[in-house]
């Protein structure tokens, strides 16, 4: 057998400390670090105070509704009449959770009561409140 030798460049071996540091940096390179301004603020605290929120009503024929800022702040469940100038009434039940969502600037959609109208028959509406 012939003895074959290949030339290998001589590279200095890292120290244990250098190896550990390089390994830690390689692991951290895949991590994302997020820093937020959370001190003194609650995650459920809205960025601005609530304001009145008008209803957007599906298949609307002169119904109207508004949840006032005072109702949102009070946070007590309520039943809202959305008759507006229509010839018949509907109501919408708003829960405490719904009011919390509105306070946190999150929209809600609820179905109104099902009521009879001489013109439109028995029907209901979807009522959406979207805070600004």
How does pLDDT run across 86-119, given as a tens digit for each residue?
999 999 999 999 999 999 999 999 999 999 999 9
pLDDT of residue 32: 57
What is the b/e burial string over 83-115, where b = at least 16 CB atoms within 10 angstroms of the residue's CB?
eeebeeebbbebeeebbebbbeeeebebebeeb
Of 45-49, 69-73, 97-101, the one with minimum mean pLDDT is: 45-49
**Close Cβ partners of 96 (under 8 Å, ≥ 6 residues apart):** 75, 76, 77
Identify the band that residue 21 occupies on the pLDDT scale cut at 50, 70 and 90.
Answer: confident
Identify the band that residue 77 occupies on the pLDDT scale cut at 50, 70 and 90.
Answer: very high
Burial of 18 (0-12, 13-18, 19+ CB in 10 A): exposed
pTM of the complete model beyond 0.85: no
Mean per-residue pLDDT, 48-61: 92
Q: Is the pLDDT of residue 123 over 70?
A: yes
How does pLDDT run across 22-44, given as a tens digit for each residue?
777 766 666 555 555 555 555 55
High-pLDDT (> 70) share of the chain, % = 74
Mean pLDDT of the chain: 83
Q: Which residue has 């951290």 as its token pair?
A: 28
pLDDT of residue 75: 93
Q: Is the pLDDT of residue 14 over 80?
A: no
């Amino acid at each position: 057998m012939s003895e074959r030798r290949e030339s290998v460049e001589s590279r200095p071996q890292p120290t244990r400390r250098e190896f550990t540091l390089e390994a830690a940096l390689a692991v951290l390179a895949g991590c994302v670090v997020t820093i937020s301004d959370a001190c003194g603020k609650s995650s459920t605290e809205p960025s601005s105070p609530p304001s009145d929120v008008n209803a957007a009503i599906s298949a609307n024929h002169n119904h109207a509704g508004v949840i006032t800022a005072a109702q949102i702040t009070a946070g007590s469940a309520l039943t809202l009449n959305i008759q507006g100038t229509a010839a018949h009434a509907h109501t919408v039940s708003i829960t405490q959770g719904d009011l919390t969502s509105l306070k946190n600037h999150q929209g809600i959609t609820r179905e109104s009561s099902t009521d009879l109208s001489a013109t439109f028959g028995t029907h209901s509406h979807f009522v959406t409140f979207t805070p600004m």
